[in-house]
Chains A and B, each alone.
Chain A
Amino acid sequence: MLRLLSLITAFALTSVVVPGGTASAAPSQGGTFIIGLEGEPATATGHLATDTVALMVASNIFNGLVSLDFNFNPQPDLATSWDISDDGRTYTFHLAEDAKWHDGVPVTAEDIEYTFNDIIAVAHPRAGSWWPNVESAVATDKHTFVITLKAAYAPFMTIIGNTLGSGTLMMPKHIYEGTDPKTNPANFAPIGSGPFKFVAWNRGSHIELERNPDYFKEGLPYLDRIILQFLPDAASRLLAFEQGEVDFLHMYIVPFDQVARFRKDDKFRVIERGGEGAATNEFLLMNMRSGPLANKDVRHALAWAIDREQIVEKAVFGEGKVAHSFINSGLSWVSDGSTDVYRSVDLDKANELLDNAGFPRDADGKRFDLRIALASGRDYEGRADEIIKDNLAQVGIGVTVEMSDRTSFIEKVMRQWDFDLANQLFTTGPDPAISVRPRYHSEQIKKIPFVNSMGYSNPELDNIFDTESGEIDREKRAGMWRDAQTILFEDMPALPLFEIPVVNLVSDRFKDVITTPFGYIQSREGTYFEE
């Protein structure tokens, strides 16, 4: 009997393995992949895409020069190969020779030259953070494109591969030349070189893309259609996914308390990859300008008192993990958790620090009050703040939680600097030089969003930031960043609370949905349908 059972099991196993094996060898063409988006994108092109939803559309219509693998090494996209000069200043890209725009015009190095000089440099909101490193960007022949940097700049290839952050999706010169790239009508009916062609934008409802039969990558893509549907309500969105009306929800809109349920259901898959590129941490920003938080010991006391394990457990339902670094662990080559000395809660130490800093308890046991600002929309931040409030009450700090809508929050915290503590997500990837530096460099103390609102300044750290990107050797760079992380924990302009859980939800009928560190927004050229 037992033997029979094991035979049946063995048979069942092979019958499972065989179709899987053949399918992965040659996925078949077909299928409609429906992606649920939390809102309507403002645009469908690469150069104006400043948010997740816009890029989820654009990445399927356009190509970059290169993409990145999970180790952040460049992989071919429009460029099939590249050479980097020994001094790290000259990057020569060799382009695919048979790539065509969706209107049939061939893609040439002229297009790339135009995209860099006339679109990205002038129209992309983030170009200012890296374009000044570029000396020239020129097409040297029909399929060769050369970028020369003013000096060696280590994160350069990562920037080129980071299409969301850098706007480096390649645009057709013949469509945009002589027009204002911000208002060109093609922004609403984009023409790219990518795996899917734009079909229709039904305002308020969805964007439809169809398979590009002339795609330059042999055999790709597999899907017939991609539909990106705008689903503003979180509860209904999840129901729609559960009912099979939607096939994919990206990590930033998956409610963490529901994930466990989907793990158990084999109609769905929970993909815990594809967020490494953004490498997002939740921080508690501290306004260092005045009041108790201007005192370093007070900031340290907060770090000793706040129970981050409990926050992970109760605010994100155990899906994430404590952020033991100012750089998310998805960037494994540079993130160094050993720099975090606040490994366990120590209330005695917190109390001692506060006493010595000149903030004794009054008759009621209270030392002082602080406010925490947060924006509505991310319920885990609200839950985390309740825990923080409890934790700090134990060391005599009263906390009021002040919630406002996101736009008002940005105005208050980042433009008026009117806050004590604030909840904020920061991306720390795909390279810390572009997403960690701007938060803590003293030259970034500006009244604009997502920079150094804390008023933090340390010349030693500034110096590391200013020199590390000139270092080509990754090991040496990692060493310099280790020093930076140590300084950040010592100065504590913000407390890293937890790493945002990477949990993408996908219908099990679709395979190879996430294949890069930007999985939540990546091109679905390799995604295929399997019943």
Chain B
Amino acid sequence: MTGTRLLLYALRRLLQAVPMIVIILIVNFFLIHSAPGDPVDVLTGSMETSEEYIAELRAEFGLDKPLVQQLGIYLWKAAHFDLGYSMRYRQDVTGLILSRLPATLLLMGTALVFSSFLGIMLGVFAARRPYSLSDNAVTFIALAGYSMPVFWLGQILLLIFAVQLQWFPVQGMFSLRVPSHGWARFADLMHHLALPAITYSVYHLTLIYRLTRVKMQETLTLDFCTTARAKGLSEASVVRRHALPNAMLPVVTVIGLNFGFMLAGSVLTETVFAWPGTGRLLYEAINARDYPVLLGLFTFLSLMVILANVLTDIIYALIDPRVTYS
């Protein structure tokens, strides 16, 4: 019963998202086109060319048409699931995004799972002995991690673990000089994944840690926890069975929200570690003023954020029996 209800709810939320996406598309379209710079200049490269050739390129990509007409064409195509054609790569945008997506999902997924799990563990640990030495130490480190710029942290990790200790490779997803296969390839991938995933995790980890700590600390002082202790339950089981499920609700919301942020925020990590994902595609598309790729990526990101929100709502309903959707 609740299962069908949830499903119906999810479907309705997704349908509601459609007008939202159209609005996002239109706003993005005008935003991107109002940025200074001309994609044609990137296409002609670093050499001088003729006015005729530039006019030809404009016509080829429909840039010579009035902006509103360009928008109309774009929306019409988008309605048919066609995100257009990259000016720089002369390739289908959907294909281009899909080819870069697995790398980002792997990096983001690893970082999200790792940071959420460790963040909650550390948060619970710290909350049990608030303001103790260990709590203060973890909190201090977390604060440092929270305020560290990603690209700087990435460079520092590279210098320590790739250059000094030589434990990890500097960049890329696989060793290219000696290609490997099967399990060796998987191990190679994990070897390359470690540093970017850690770099990518730190901000999220500290956020989850801080939130969990505060919520747990709060929850542990509530009456029902006191009652549980009075019943003679061990502190461990008070934490695990009573406090944690309650403290988790806002944490789950933040993890869900962060999903979207992380997808959009992969630019810096992917650039520092030459990780071939969508973040770098976004960075390149901005530099090249590759309008179709930019719009495609933004649309795609909005979709993912909406999906993540719906998913968060569903998880919410599953872990909190008080929440029902109608």
Which A residues have a C-beta under 8 Å from some C-beta of B? Answer: 32, 34, 39-40, 42-43, 48, 50-52, 125-126, 128-129, 165, 182-183, 187-188, 202-206, 208, 227, 229-233, 235-237, 239-240, 242-243, 245, 404-408, 410-412, 414-415, 425, 427, 438-439, 444, 446, 448-451
Please measure, in the bound complex, the distance between the C-alpha atom of A52 and the C-alpha atom of B45, giving whole angstroms. Answer: 9
Contact of B169 among A51, A203, A232, A245 (CB under 8 A): A245
Distance (Å) between the CB of B242 and the closest chain A CB?
Answer: 47
Q: Give Cα A449 to B44, complex, Å.
A: 9
Q: Looking at the complex, which one of B47, B163, B272 makes contact with A243 (CB distance below 8 Å)?
A: B163
Give residues of chain B (134-186) contacting chain A, Cβ–Cβ below 8 Å. Answer: 151, 154-155, 158-159, 162-163, 166, 169-174, 176-178
Asked whether any CB of chain A lies closer than 8 Å to the CB of B49, the reply is yes
Q: Are A203 and B284 in contact (CB under 8 A)?
A: no
> Does B122 count as interface, using CB distance less than 8 angstroms?
no
- Give Cα distance in the complex from A206 to B275, angstroms: 11
With A and B bound together, what is the CA distance between A50 and B42 in angstroms? Answer: 9
**Complex formed: what's the CA distance from A233 to B171 in Å?**
10
Closest chain A CB from B35 CB (angstroms): 8
Residue of A whose beta carbon sits closest to that of B286: A405
* Residues from chain A with Cβ under 8 Å of B173 in the complex: 205
A448 to B46, CA, bound (A): 12
What is the minimal beta-carbon distance from A462 to any residue of chain B, in angstroms? 17
Instruction: Please tell me if the beta carbons of B276 and A202 are within 8 angstroms of each other in the complex.
Output: yes
Residues of chain B lying within 8 A (CB to CB) of residue A408: 35-37
| Residue contact A449 to B48, C-beta cutoff 8 Å | yes
Is B227 positioned at the interface, with any CB of A under 8 Å from its CB?
Answer: no
A-B CB contact pairs (8 Å), 22 listed: A32-B176, A34-B177, A50-B46, A52-B46, A125-B50, A126-B49, A208-B176, A229-B176, A230-B276, A233-B271, A236-B171, A240-B170, A407-B36, A410-B38, A411-B36, A411-B38, A425-B46, A439-B48, A448-B50, A449-B41, A449-B44, A449-B48
- The answer for the CA separation of A390 and B90 in the assembled complex, in Å, is 45
Q: Which residue of B lies closest to A235 (CB)?
A: B155
Q: Are A450 and B177 touching (Cβ within 8 A)?
A: no
Q: Which of B96-104, B202-210, B310-318 contacts A (4 or more CB under 8 A)?
A: B96-104
Q: Which residue of chain B is the closest to A184 with respect to CB atoms?
A: B90
Beta-carbon contact of A128 and B52 below 8 Å: yes
Are A204 and B100 within 8 A (Cβ)? yes
Name the CB-closest residue of B to A183: B90
Neighbour of A204 across the interface among B37, B151, B277, CB < 8 A: B277
The answer, yes or no, to whether B213 is at the interface (CB within 8 Å) is no
Q: Which residues of B contact A240 (CB under 8 A)?
A: 170-172, 274
In this complex, the member of A233, A427, A451 whose beta carbon has the largest number of chain B beta carbons within 10 angstroms is A233
Closest Cβ of chain A to B96, distance in Å, is 7
Contact with A along B62-76 (1 / 0, CB 8 A): 000000000000000
Q: Is A51's CB under 8 angstroms from B52's CB?
A: no
Asked if residues B41 and A407 are in contact (CB atoms below 8 Å), the reply is: yes
The docked-state distance in angstroms from the alpha carbon of A412 to that of B37 is 8
**Quick one: which of B35, B90, B151 contacts A43, CB cutoff 8 A?**
B90
Identify which of B48, B88, B170, B176 gathers the most chain A CB atoms within 10 Å of its CB: B48
Establish whether residues A410 and B37, one from each chain, have CB atoms under 8 Å apart when the complex forms: yes
B255 at the interface (CB under 8 A from A): no
Whether A203 pairs with B99 at a CB distance below 8 angstroms is yes
Which residues on the A side are within 8 Å of B166 (C-beta)?
A: 243
A408 to B39 CA separation, bound complex (whole angstroms): 10
| Measured CA separation A39–B162 after assembly (Å) | 22
Q: Verify A407–B284 contact, CB threshold 8 A.
A: no
Q: Are A128 and B53 closer than 8 Å at their CB atoms?
A: yes
Whether the Cβ atoms of B276 and A205 lie closer than 8 Å is yes
Residues of B within 8 A of A444 (CB): 48
In the docked arrangement, what's the CA distance between A125 and B283, Å?
A: 25
Asked if residues A236 and B90 are in contact (CB atoms below 8 Å), the reply is no
Which partner residue on chain B sits nearest A49 by CB separation? B45
- B284 and A125 form a contact (CB under 8 A): no
Among residues of B, the one whose C-beta sits closest to the C-beta of A39 is B284
Describe A's contact surface by its main secondary structure. mixed
CB distance from B138 to the nearest CB of A (A): 30
The complex places the Cα of A39 from the Cα of B169 at a distance, in Å, of 20
Supposing A125-B44, A408-B37 touch, asked if A32 and B177 sit within 8 A by C-beta, the answer is: yes
Knowing A128-B52, A204-B276, A407-B38 touch, does A231 contact B46 (C-beta < 8 A)? no
Contact A448 B48 (CB under 8 A): yes
Decide yes or no: A410 and B45 within 8 Å by CB, A42-B88, A236-B158, A236-B273 being known contacts: no
Cα-based distance from A427 to B48 in the complex (angstroms): 10
Nearest-CB distance from B158 to chain A (Å)?
Answer: 6
Report the 6 A-B pairs with minimum CB-CB distance, sorted nearest first.
A50-B45, A204-B276, A407-B37, A128-B50, A450-B48, A205-B276
Residue numbers in B under 8 Å from A439 (CB-CB): 48
| A231-B171 contact, Cβ under 8 Å, with A410-B41, A448-B54, A451-B48 | yes
B104 nearest in chain A by CB position: A204
Bound together, the chains give a CA A431 to CA B188 distance in angstroms of 48
Collect the chain B residues with CB atoms within 8 Å of residue A43's CB.
89-90
State the CA gap A333–B289 with chains docked (Å).
Answer: 40
- A94 shortest CB reach to chain B, Å: 30
Chain B residue, CB-CB nearest to A414? B41
Q: Assess the A232–B280 pair: CB atoms within 8 A.
A: yes
Contact (Cβ within 8 A) B287 A406 = yes
* CB neighbours of B171 from chain A (8 A): 231, 236-237, 239-240, 245
- Of A125, A243, A451, the residue contacting B45 (CB under 8 A) is A125
Instruction: Report the bound CA distance from A237 to B88 in whole Å.
Output: 23
Residues of A within 8 A of B178 (CB): 32
Q: How far is the CB of B249 from chain A (nearest CB, A)?
A: 38
Residue among B44, B45, B178, B284 with max Cβ neighbours from chain A (10 Å): B45
A415 to B60: give the CA distance in the assembly, Å. 20
CB-based nearest A residue for B159? A239
Apart from A203-B276, A239-B163, 11 more pairs, CB < 8 Å: A32-B176, A39-B284, A50-B45, A52-B46, A126-B47, A183-B90, A204-B276, A232-B280, A407-B36, A407-B39, A448-B54
As a 0/1 sequence over residues 28 to 40 of chain B, the CB contacts with chain A under 8 angstroms (1 = contact) are: 0000000111110
CB distance from A518 to the nearest CB of B (A): 14
Chain B nearest CB, measured from A124 CB (Å): 8
Contact B280 A204 (CB under 8 A): yes
Q: What's the nearest-Cβ distance from chain A to residue B16, in Å?
A: 34
| Interface membership of B306, Cβ < 8 A | no
The one of B159, B172, B284 in contact with A40, judged by C-beta atoms closer than 8 angstroms, is B284
Question: A187 contacts which of B90, B155, B271, B283 (Cβ < 8 Å)?
Answer: B90
| Distance in Å: Cβ of A93 to nearest Cβ of chain B | 25
CB of A125 within 8 A of CB of B49, answer: yes
**B223 at the A interface (CB under 8 A):** no
In whole angstroms, how far apart are the Cα atoms of A43 and B91 in the complex? 10
